A and B are shown apart, each in its own frame.
Chain A
Amino acid sequence: MQIKYEVPSTINEPKRRSFLSWVDSKIQIILLLPAIFLMMVVFLYPILYTIYLSLHDWTFLTLKNPPFVGMQNILNVFQDAGFYKSMLLTGIYVGAGVLIQFILGLTLALAVNRITVGHGLFTTLLVFPMMVTPVVVGLIWKFIMDYNFGILNYALTLIGLEKVSMLTSSTLALPSTIMVDVWQWTGFMFIIFLAGIKSLPDEPFEAAQMDGASVWQTLWNVTIPLLKPVIIVALVMRIAGSIKVFDQIFVLTGGGPGTSTETVSILLHRKAFADFNFGYASAVAIVLTIIVGILCWFAIRALYSEK
């Protein structure tokens, strides 16, 4: 049997509910409203509009009255070898780039953490590349990697090697763009790892030292396991950032030579703004959104299971 306790309403609520007290009681929803409104305008509506676009044969020829084609654009995406290739290239770009950034970022963070003199200066200088405008990053490296007057090729000849066409050869162009990504974003991994290492407790390290663990043993058995949540955050953020990449590749190679550096972003941009095939581009956008959504779901699960 349940006993109901009647609480006199006068205790819970003031007799005169002023507007301000109403605001105060609903404050948490009210504070969210501007963000919700804005996200509806800039995300939800455009996404719905993308779905609408993808259902039509929307090109420059049919701009005024695009015919409804249903799922045709989506089906075309899945039958397009170019799309699969761009997915593969994106996968390689993201996988290789993030892995190298991870290794460099972690080792740098460990090294800087040991350093006492110039600690702050090193930290600031290492994050400089990530502050450089991605377009400028692309342009800088295009200049440095040029076959004829690039300093990198000059350096190769200095150490007795042959010049290579880094951006115009279909085998070297992708590794070159990955190298540029590594250059720009290692600082991000580094600073997150440094922050993580600094917040670690001292005791496990002292214990490891007492047990006579070597530097490597300490790294594998103490540092990395303790850093795991930080590592997951850093990896998730960099993978997401790397999937998005557009500017550098656009400037460096424009997706070429041929389609050897055409990641999904570049493909989508080409379909939309060079071929003016908005219907197809929208279909690619939807597929990409779904893939990113699935990745996010896994990422969220990984993040939550660490907390």
Chain B
Amino acid sequence: MYKNKWAYTYVIVCLLGFLFPIFWVIFTSIKTTTQAFQIPPVWFFKPSVENYVQVFETQPFIYYFLNSLIVTVLSTVLSLIIGTLAGYSLARMKMKGQKFVSFTVFFTKMFPPIVLVVPFFALFRQFGGTDTLFALTLSYVAFNLPFVTWLMWGFLKELPESLEEAALIDGTSRFGAMWRIMLPLAKPGLAVSAIFAAMNSWNEFLFALSLTGQHAKTLPVMAANFVTQDAILWGPVTATGTMLMIPMFVFTLLVQKHLVKGLAMGAVK
């Protein structure tokens, strides 16, 4: 159809624009250093793993990878548990000051992290605890918690209360009703919360940069470290960039069904 042809063209053109940089960084990562800087660009070449070897040889990649992974998993799980409990409570609670609570959650969700970096840095210096995974996990929970609370609140509010009431009449405890009735229904909301919390933690740079030294460094900080005073080591940068992107893409593909559904029900409403 005439109209749809335009729709296809527009989407495909945009898509090419959006995907090209990703393609280009992966493409460059398997070039040799000389090939990477050639203009006009080399399109046909024998792939090389030189850059990846350099990353693994010069940096404790596995160690930083594990740091990133531990902090991401811990902060995601923690903020999911605490945020869902709070979201459930807010969705079912009728109390004074609901507006104030909602403003507070919203405000903390919108809060620029840079504002907290200075006090976090100063506090952790004072009490010890800089350059630990604990400090990072705590600060990531701080930013994921309001988001998860907000999303689950909106999400659980949409689920009919009568379902739990029925369970309560059947003799389940409030907690039992929540665990067995509400949570299974809230799965798409939980999935979206988990996606965004994990994404935020995995990608976070500012706190990782300011609060870690050698010990608790994460992958984004490692990637940025290839930018030195004299030059940027583009080979290792593109290799690290590729390795940082791949887990997120796999993750996105796995959860993409929930992504649209969850956003439609949670964030939008």
Q: Are A and B associated in one complex? A: yes
Interface size on A, residues (CB 8 A): 97
Whether the Cβ atoms of A151 and B41 lie closer than 8 Å is yes
- Docked pose: A131 CA to B117 CA in angstroms: 23
Whether the Cβ atoms of A132 and B245 lie closer than 8 Å is yes
Whether the Cβ atoms of A111 and B256 lie closer than 8 Å is no
Known: A288-B112, A295-B110. A196 touches B268 (CB 8 A): yes
Whether the Cβ atoms of B39 and A149 lie closer than 8 Å is yes
Whether the Cβ atoms of B249 and A27 lie closer than 8 Å is no
- Docked pose: A250 CA to B205 CA in angstroms: 10
Considering only residues 211-266 of chain B, those with a C-beta below 8 Å from chain A are 219-221, 223-224, 227, 232, 234, 237-238, 240-241, 244-245, 248-249, 251-253, 256, 259-261, 263-264
Whether the Cβ atoms of B86 and A34 lie closer than 8 Å is yes
B45 to chain A, nearest CB (A): 15
Q: Does A102 contact B (CB under 8 A)?
A: no
Whether the Cβ atoms of A273 and B14 lie closer than 8 Å is no
Q: Does A84 contact B (CB under 8 A)?
A: no
Residues of A within 8 A of B245 (CB): 131-133, 136
Residues of B within 8 A of A272 (CB): 117-118, 121
Q: Does B8 contact A (CB under 8 A)?
A: yes
A164 to chain B, nearest CB (A): 15
Whether the Cβ atoms of B112 and A47 lie closer than 8 Å is no
Residue among A195, A198, A264 facing the most chain B CB atoms (10 A cut-off): A195
- Docked pose: A134 CA to B237 CA in angstroms: 13
Interface string of A18-44 (1 = CB under 8 A from B): 001001100111011011101101110
Known: A133-B202, A140-B24, A269-B117. A108 touches B14 (CB 8 A): yes
How many inter-chain residue pairs (CB < 8 Å) link A and B?
Answer: 275
Q: Does B171 contact A (CB under 8 A)?
A: no
Minimum CB distance partner of B28 in chain A: A143
11 A/B residue pairs, CB under 8 Å, sorted by A? A31-B88, A32-B86, A45-B123, A47-B119, A53-B118, A108-B14, A196-B268, A265-B112, A282-B118, A282-B119, A292-B110
A278 to chain B, nearest CB (A): 6
Q: Does B56 contact A (CB under 8 A)?
A: no
Q: Does A221 contact B (CB under 8 A)?
A: no
Minimum CB distance partner of B224 in chain A: A135
- Docked pose: A20 CA to B172 CA in angstroms: 12
- Docked pose: A144 CA to B22 CA in angstroms: 11
Q: Which of B115, B141, B221 contacts A288 (CB under 8 A)?
A: B115
Q: Which range holds the interface residue count of chain B?
A: 35 or more
Residues of A within 8 A of B110 (CB): 240, 243, 292, 295-296, 299
Minimum CB distance partner of A241 in chain B: B110
Interface string of A106-147 (1 = CB under 8 A from B): 011011101110001011111111011111100111111000
- Docked pose: A278 CA to B149 CA in angstroms: 32
Q: Does B114 contact A (CB under 8 A)?
A: yes
Known: A126-B18, A273-B210. A278 touches B118 (CB 8 A): yes
| B residues in contact (CB < 8 Å) with A | 3-4, 6-8, 10-11, 14-15, 17-19, 21-22, 24-25, 28, 36-41, 82-83, 85-86, 88-90, 92-93, 95, 102-104, 106-123, 138-139, 141-142, 145-146, 149, 173-175, 199, 202-203, 205-206, 210, 219-221, 223-224, 227, 232, 234, 237-238, 240-241, 244-245, 248-249, 251-253, 256, 259-261, 263-264, 267-268
| A residues in contact (CB < 8 Å) with B | 20, 23-24, 27-29, 31-32, 34-36, 38-39, 41-43, 45-47, 49-50, 53, 104, 107-108, 110-112, 114-116, 120, 122-129, 131-136, 139-144, 148-149, 151, 154, 183, 186-187, 191-192, 194-196, 198-199, 215, 229-230, 233, 237, 240, 243-244, 246-247, 250-251, 264-265, 268-269, 272-273, 278, 281-282, 285, 288-289, 292-293, 295-297, 299-300
Known: A34-B85, A139-B227. A296 touches B119 (CB 8 A): no
Residues of A within 8 A of B88 (CB): 31
